[in-house]
Structure 1
């Protein structure tokens, strides 16, 4: 019997022990989970605060760069147009919607000009501390010229905290500008005020309590520093860390007591539910982190993830960057629309993703720019193979809704150099190689190397020599290539061609020095000097009718047409003796402004010709809209006509189209008697080429034997 009495006690002991173990296990698990949730929430809060701070900085940076690298800003700041700066920049700062403080200084500006929210319309001097501007200058000195970049930092001004972004005001070469010395460039700083409203919006967006902006870091709560131009904290964002685990435990405790009293199974269910909640929080964080580092259009890494991937240092030869830029993507967007353009980028991303194997990452870092990162001891060889594979992958057309497109791309790559070179250097080298490939598209992928550096050095030497040539008479000259009637051989007019013989460099090919002039911003001065030489020849020979080429920068310059008309009027030269030749690039870069300039030339009496037709992107609409007088068909359609029946048909269609639009047709590149016979039979009005006359001095052109010329019938 005693045993019978002891059995319940034993059962009870087992039950009590089981429940006690269960209670201790559940309690320990709940406490552990509570701490884990609190720690996880603390880290999440810190990451969200960091993202919010970086977002403020990035918004300020993009805003400042958008204004500083805007062509209109560069034009009006260089011209010292205070009214424009007040209306376009100052008024926006005063309104305070996009930014609340703005200041321009340096370069062509005689004094600093500043505006702030609610302030007067007239610019103020000394709006920002000179020491602060000096620090901004120091940081901008580290930013290379002719780049879409600037510097950002936090600073106090007039009792308010701002996130400031500063950049040089310059017209980038990739947008048709030219590199100017640093001391000729103005500076622009813009800032967004960080006040109670900003902090309140941050608190609401991040779902955090007691978010505050403080001067000193609190001891009892986390904070994040806001750094000034010297890298020192000027303020801190502090917040109350969330305690979701503790809050959850307080809410669940009564239920847990009841559940543990009734059944350990319900406790297990409760634990499972809690664990599931934690899993949901972790999964949400992972999705958020992934979305922040993923390009939404292609699903590839974005620039943020690309920069993170480059943060790990690499040894010499064990990392390569391959930079790819789609050729003419703006024209694709203009032709088929931005939605179809996005589809092109998405399909291109899929095709490039197939080429990224082990040890290779692919990112989309711009609108039409993709970058591969290759790591490993054979990175250089793999980069060369990948460049070839990219070219092969782009040979087949892309299928987008309603369109079948062949996409071209410029590819450049660079391999990690000697120890100490940074990831930024590697990316810059690949970018330079890509631009070299874009300049010489027939070369295919370009590897960064001594040749590119040598080309840059030679271009700088040529630029200095060209600047000297513009100041010295005798180095620049003109020759003339006759343009004749293909039926009679009569000289109709002649194309003026530039020549340069440098004392240091000797004779320089026109394509070389004209390209250098365009890149360095000398093309307008060079064009004007050559125009004056042409006017001298027109004065000496009253029978001369000449064509002269005008670059896009010349045509779009505000004073080009008035200066042209004024010079001819001063010399008494009839504008009808000068035919202005333009390439198709002018029409694509800025059709509206080009149409305005051509209308001014046409009103003044100048004949206008479209040169090298068929090599670019001009359309029948352009030909009708611009009102050309002459169409010059590129030599690539004329060469070897007698062997190319299909080319004869294409040339015939071009001539008939031009005649239907009332245009005179000139066929360039007539190099043989058979070519001349065919263009004559196809109805071409005039012809030009070595068979009819090479470029020659004016005296030879105007010699009696050159007037009627030899018979070409």
Structure 2
């Protein structure tokens, strides 16, 4: 009886072990199937981003631009996402562009993919017809045009590809398709080692490889990838995890121990089995927690936020309460990362998360959307309740944080969208709060803004201005002016290059508007290259007259920036010794190796370095010494203060003495009155820049004022540039 019971116990244990393996394998099979489908969706989203665009309509439909296609389709998709083939088909499905591995090729490159493309195109055209022609601007009434795509897999020359056909569509709606049929972009991405490696690492798969679909090796699982006809092309095969087998292997010696140890063995099996089950349950709980929580702050992440927001919006139908969606964005968080490092930024994010939970209490849901942006969901009965909560959040975040990095102070800007009726999409509610938050940023930060419908118009205007800025770099509305810098005798010793924008409809747009916009939208690098190219072209014949060029922190942190400056100067025949790179103090703070390498390379090539707006940032002797700055520029705020009190004069005097002790030259900016110039002379300053000494002028005017003999040549260069 005892032996029978023990045998039954062992049989039960082996059955449970086998079931553990089966359940784990089944769950892993579903995970891989869903994961590969998600992988294809993510690749399709990348393609749609590049072709669902007004510029794409203009450059691929209205008038085909091969260089645009190279940069935005062929080269971009290959360089950043691994699409080995990219083709553009016209309305008659004829290839008008072909790129293989990021390089433009002839039409023969499309031939191998013509058959599979022909299977995909009808579905795209059918969806295009169902969508119908655009009868109004897309940006009106928040119309969103979903991408039109269809995807399959195919096999060519032994390589399996994911092939997608995507219809070219507008996004902002400034440019609409010229006919009933828009071009179609066909892309192919090979399922190679890189893709398999990334997919395997993402879903923790063992020995992932491609095999024939008819081969079914023992102890392996697989999913079959099929072509447009449903025929199996290849199978993704992997070795499933087997927790039960691991358990059996760890217990095989005790099982052979003998009848005398059977009782103890049974106890160990049950105990171990319970531990495995508990571990599986705990692992599932951890996985679910990680899937719905931010790892840094343990707050709900984007996925859980959308789930809860959708539920709370639906509950508005049966409630007399309102839902407040509060977007919280830290002010100047980037400065903390730049000056103290990313670890300090992480500590700050964790502290802010704790303060938000404490300020909001149990009646609100606090989540981290990403970066330094948080979302608070709060049920309320009045706007005053929301305003009180928002004020608590602003005050809580503004409290000084004491850490291993010293005392850190940041503020936050809040945008609030109050929703009192069901039917609003979660993404739309978040967008409203985000629009209001950016209005707070524009209003001076550390404030709260409630969403109003007219704010959408301002956002559209901002996006339109961004689009216009892209065009301005090629249509001639951007140009350079130069402000003279003079010595105490009034002789021009240098000039600072300044970019100006004359908008065709809006007139002159100040740099204080379009330069920050360029930094926020990623246009600062092409804008900076435009400025460098134009300045070198217009001033290369100025001889020994020094020219100052402003460079942003983003440019300085860009790999290869020094090489770009050198190449542009060489193309224009400009001598680096006649140029001064003007940097802000914030750009030189921190331990960024790319910044240090770029500065060192520029100095080695002969460019001098000036520290602009000196005294307004985190001024330190270490910055002046570490980067071997040649000159400092006293900010206009200190020059203006000379007229107000003796403290301003004392500060300027101290700056001049500091510069002299370090062997640096010094110049004062913003000199507008003769009294300011005299006071600066008394402090020991010998160079000046401002409206008193000279207004910004074009290149030929500066050449004439400085007595440069090649002024005519400069003017010709200016016109040509």
Q: Which residue of 2 aligns with 1:111?
A: 98
Matches of residues 239-388 of structure 1 in structure 2 within 5 Å?
289-290=288-289, 292-312=291-311, 314=313, 318-327=322-331, 329=333, 332-333=336-337, 335-336=339-340, 338-366=342-370, 368-376=371-379, 378=381, 382-388=385-391
Distance 1:41 1:285, change over 3 A: farther
CA deviation profile, 1:462-516 (whole Å, cap 9, x unmatched): 566667766667x66655544344x555544343444444453233323334455
What CA distance in whole angstroms lies between the structure 1 residues aligned with 2:68 and 2:474?
27
Q: Which residue of 1 aligns with 2:399?
A: 396
Distance 1:512 1:319, change over 3 A: same
Which one of the candidate residues 463, 482, 485 is aligned to 1:483?
Answer: 485
CA deviation profile, 1:567-617 (whole Å, cap 9, x unmatched): 245xxxx66554443345654699555555555654565443232234456
Distance 1:546 1:350, change over 3 A: same
Tell me the SS of whatever aligns to 1:376.
strand
Distance 1:77 1:470, change over 3 A: closer
Tell me the SS of whatever aligns to 2:360.
coil
What CA distance in whole angstroms lies between the structure 1 residues aligned with 2:516 and 2:495?
23
What CA distance in whole angstroms lies between the structure 2 residues aligned with 1:673 and 1:468?
41
Tell me the SS of whatever aligns to 1:354.
helix
Q: Answer yes or no: is the 8 Å Cα contact 1:113–1:124 preserved in 2.
A: no
Deviation at 1:130, TM superposition (A): 3.6
Q: Answer yes or no: is the 8 Å Cα contact 1:106–1:186 preserved in 2.
A: yes
Q: Which residue of 1 aligns with 2:60?
A: none
Aligned length: 582
Deviation at 1:458, TM superposition (A): 3.3
Distance 1:394 1:580, change over 3 A: same
Q: Which residue of 2 aligns with 1:613?
A: 614
- Alignment RMSD: 6.6
What CA distance in whole angstroms lies between the structure 1 residues aligned with 2:515 and 2:350?
38
Q: Which residue of 2 aligns with 1:523?
A: 527
Q: Answer yes or no: is the 8 Å Cα contact 2:536–2:568 preserved in 1.
A: no
Distance 1:378 1:625, change over 3 A: same
Deviation at 1:59, TM superposition (A): 7.9
Q: Which residue of 1 aligns with 2:260?
A: none
Structure 2 residue 567 is matched with structure 1 residue 562: yes
Structure 2 residue 687 is matched with structure 1 residue 686: yes
Q: Which residue of 2 aligns with 1:667?
A: 668
Distance 1:690 1:185, change over 3 A: farther
Deviation at 1:666, TM superposition (A): 1.6
Matches of residues 4-153 of structure 1 in structure 2 within 5 Å?
103=84, 105=86, 111=98, 113=100, 129-130=116-117
Deviation at 1:343, TM superposition (A): 3.0
Deviation at 1:83, TM superposition (A): 11
Q: Which residue of 2 aligns with 1:508?
A: 509
What CA distance in whole angstroms lies between the structure 2 residues aligned with 1:285 and 1:504?
59
Deviation at 1:276, TM superposition (A): 13
Deviation at 1:362, TM superposition (A): 0.7
Deviation at 1:350, TM superposition (A): 0.8
What CA distance in whole angstroms lies between the structure 1 residues aligned with 2:616 and 2:482?
23
Deviation at 1:525, TM superposition (A): 6.7
Tell me the SS of whatever aligns to 1:357.
helix
Q: Answer yes or no: is the 8 Å Cα contact 1:493–1:546 preserved in 2.
A: yes
CA deviation profile, 1:386-427 (whole Å, cap 9, x unmatched): 443322112211122353211344444444498654212223
Deviation at 1:682, TM superposition (A): 3.6
Q: Which residue of 2 aligns with 1:493?
A: 494
Q: Answer yes or no: is the 8 Å Cα contact 2:412–2:446 preserved in 1.
A: no
CA deviation profile, 1:242-296 (whole Å, cap 9, x unmatched): 99xxxxxxxxxxxxxxxxxxxxxxxxxxxxxx99999999788656644543334
Distance 1:53 1:626, change over 3 A: farther
What CA distance in whole angstroms lies between the structure 2 residues aligned with 1:89 and 1:461?
27
> TM-score when scaled to structure 1?
0.59
Deviates more, 1:49-58 or 1:397-406: 49-58
Distance 1:433 1:591, change over 3 A: farther
Structure 2 residue 427 is matched with structure 1 residue 424: yes
What CA distance in whole angstroms lies between the structure 1 residues aligned with 2:117 and 2:46?
24
Q: Answer yes or no: is the 8 Å Cα contact 1:476–1:498 preserved in 2.
A: yes
Structure 2 residue 643 is matched with structure 1 residue 638: no
Distance 1:410 1:187, change over 3 A: farther
Q: Answer yes or no: is the 8 Å Cα contact 2:394–2:413 preserved in 1.
A: no
Q: Answer yes or no: is the 8 Å Cα contact 2:323–2:377 preserved in 1.
A: yes
Distance 1:649 1:105, change over 3 A: farther
Deviation at 1:527, TM superposition (A): 1.9
Name structure 2 gaps, 5 residues minimum.
1-18, 50-66, 90-95, 103-108, 132-138, 140-145, 167-176, 208-217, 245-272, 709-721
What CA distance in whole angstroms lies between the structure 1 residues aligned with 2:337 and 2:600?
27
What CA distance in whole angstroms lies between the structure 1 residues aligned with 2:660 and 2:47?
46
Q: Answer yes or no: is the 8 Å Cα contact 1:152–1:165 preserved in 2.
A: no
Q: Answer yes or no: is the 8 Å Cα contact 1:321–1:371 preserved in 2.
A: no
Tell me the SS of whatever aligns to 1:504.
coil
Distance 1:136 1:294, change over 3 A: farther
CA deviation profile, 1:46-77 (whole Å, cap 9, x unmatched): 878766766667788889999999xxxxx999
Distance 1:502 1:400, change over 3 A: closer
Distance 1:55 1:82, change over 3 A: closer
Distance 1:331 1:671, change over 3 A: same
Q: Answer yes or no: is the 8 Å Cα contact 2:551–2:582 preserved in 1.
A: yes
Q: Which residue of 1 aligns with 2:266?
A: none
Q: Answer yes or no: is the 8 Å Cα contact 1:576–1:605 preserved in 2.
A: yes
Name structure 1 gaps, 5 residues minimum.
1-38, 70-74, 91-100, 116-122, 169-180, 216-225, 244-273, 708-713
Q: Answer yes or no: is the 8 Å Cα contact 2:85–2:188 preserved in 1.
A: yes
CA deviation profile, 1:621-663 (whole Å, cap 9, x unmatched): 4444444322113223433246466655554554444334432
Deviation at 1:353, TM superposition (A): 0.7
What CA distance in whole angstroms lies between the structure 2 residues aligned with 1:512 and 1:56?
44
Q: Answer yes or no: is the 8 Å Cα contact 1:114–1:124 preserved in 2.
A: no
What CA distance in whole angstroms lies between the structure 2 residues aligned with 1:617 and 1:134?
58
Tell me the SS of whatever aligns to 2:410.
coil
What CA distance in whole angstroms lies between the structure 2 residues aligned with 1:279 and 1:598?
57
What CA distance in whole angstroms lies between the structure 1 residues aligned with 2:503 and 2:75?
43
Tell me the SS of whatever aligns to 2:640.
coil
Q: Answer yes or no: is the 8 Å Cα contact 1:482–1:692 preserved in 2.
A: yes
Tell me the SS of whatever aligns to 2:305.
helix
